[in-house]
Amino acid sequence: MLELDGVDLIYNRGRVDEVVALRGLSLTVHTGQFATVIGSNGAGKSSVVRTISGAARPTSGRVRIGGRDVTGWPDYRRAGAVARVFDDPRAGSAPELSIEDNLALAMSRGRRRTLRFALSAKRRARMRERLALLGLGLENRLADRVGLLSAGQRQSLTMVMAGLSAPEVLLLDEHLAALDPATAAKVLALTEELVRDMGCTTLMITHNMEHALAMGERLLVLSRGTVIADLDAATKDATSPAGLVDLISGSGDAVSDRLLLGHQTEVNL
Ligand SMILES: Nc1ncnc2c1ncn2[C@@H]1O[C@H](COP(=O)(O)OP(=O)(O)OP(=O)(O)O)[C@@H](O)[C@H]1O
């Protein structure tokens, strides 16, 4: 279970350029629940992700993972509990290392295990099995350097790597944003499968209203650093992109171009 309790995050506190990115944000995401998060530019989506991953420390409030208070834990200490997939497909893997070595590192992430342990025959079989799920043939290219892969292949690999580290919380931080629409659709389908397979608590940040509505069983709408709407599966199913636009603009936030563009791109496909 992931819990944020009265979290404030203030950047540049006490300076003229002070920004309140999160204000009194409280949120409970139950174990295994898959929630999507949407909001306009500057709503606080990245700040939520950074607060959970440990990249940013809240100014006040608590963060708990699996009942443990991790508020004061830096990101490296949370590595075994939290996996984050970034928008940049290059960010999650080492280009000079082989697919196999990248996966081995992912398996040992946050644990006291050596690379040799990670490369046992059993582990290699598990890698192959996971890669085969992608349907990209990567299971037969274990020795290839990751730098040779396309953006979509690399982001898919990053997703598999995130799963291998067996995190309690998976943060998908606009992980489709840099992919072309066709590749994004493939990685999206894969996301659904991997998240189900991993069974971990998942937050997927997106600018794409269709994706926010279609994925997961809960939708959180952020505005000005707080949750302004928390839709359960049934309400989400009954909500249209136009309804989401109304929710966001009703909160006083401008509906950013990226939200609208994402919507139109999907509609035109
Ligand atoms: N490192 C930082 N220093 C100062 N202000 C910041 C910093 N990071 C974010 N902010 C500000 O905090 C607020 C929330 O930003 P955040 O990046 O969390 O929003 P977001 O919803 O992810 O936006 P976007 O969709 O545009 O990426 C914004 O006003 C932003 O300008």
**Which residue is closest in CA terms to ligand 1's atom 1?**
11
**Which residue is closest in CA terms to ligand 1's atom 4?**
11
Share of the chain above pLDDT 90, in %: 58
| Domains defined for the chain, CATH in brackets | 2-268 (3.40.50.300)
Q: Report whether 211 contacts 219 (CB < 8 A).
A: no
Q: What letter represents residue 147's amino acid?
A: G
Position 257 scores a pLDDT of 66
Query: What whole-number distance in Å separates Cα of residue 119 and Cα of residue 127?
Result: 10
Res 205 pLDDT > 90: yes
**Which residue is closest in CA terms to ligand 1's atom 28?**
42
Question: Chain-wide mean pLDDT for the chain?
Answer: 88
Query: What whole-number distance in Å separates Cα of residue 260 and Cα of residue 24?
Result: 28
Q: Pick from 40, 45, 59 the residue to mutate for probing ligand 1's pocket: most ligand atoms within 8 Å of its CB.
A: 45
Q: Is 75 exposed, middle or buried (0-12, 13-18, 19+ CB in 10 A)?
A: middle
Q: Is 163 in the pocket of ligand 1 (CB under 6 A)?
A: no
Q: Pick from 4, 23, 47 the residue to mutate for probing ligand 1's pocket: most ligand atoms within 8 Å of its CB.
A: 47
Position 269 scores a pLDDT of 32
| Average pLDDT estimate for 243-258 | 80
| Average pLDDT estimate for 23-49 | 95
* Tens-digit pLDDT profile for residues 60-117: 999 999 999 999 999 989 988 999 999 898 888 999 999 999 998 888 775 555 555 4
Q: Both tokens of residue 251? A: 């909160």
Query: What whole-number distance in Å separates Cα of residue 26 and Cα of residue 6?
Result: 5
Q: Is 12 in the pocket of ligand 1 (CB under 6 A)?
A: yes
For residue 267, the number of C-alpha atoms closer than 13 Å in the C-beta half-sphere is 10
Q: Report whether 177 contacts 212 (CB < 8 A).
A: no
Query: Quick one: DSSP state of residue 166?
Result: -
CA 109 to chain centre: 17
Reported confidence tier of residue 16, pLDDT bands at 50, 70, 90? very high
Share of the chain above pLDDT 70, in %: 91
Q: Is 21 in the pocket of ligand 1 (CB under 6 A)?
A: yes
**Which residue is closest in CA terms to ligand 1's atom 3?**
11
**Which residue is closest in CA terms to ligand 1's atom 18?**
44
Q: Is 42 in the pocket of ligand 1 (CB under 6 A)?
A: yes
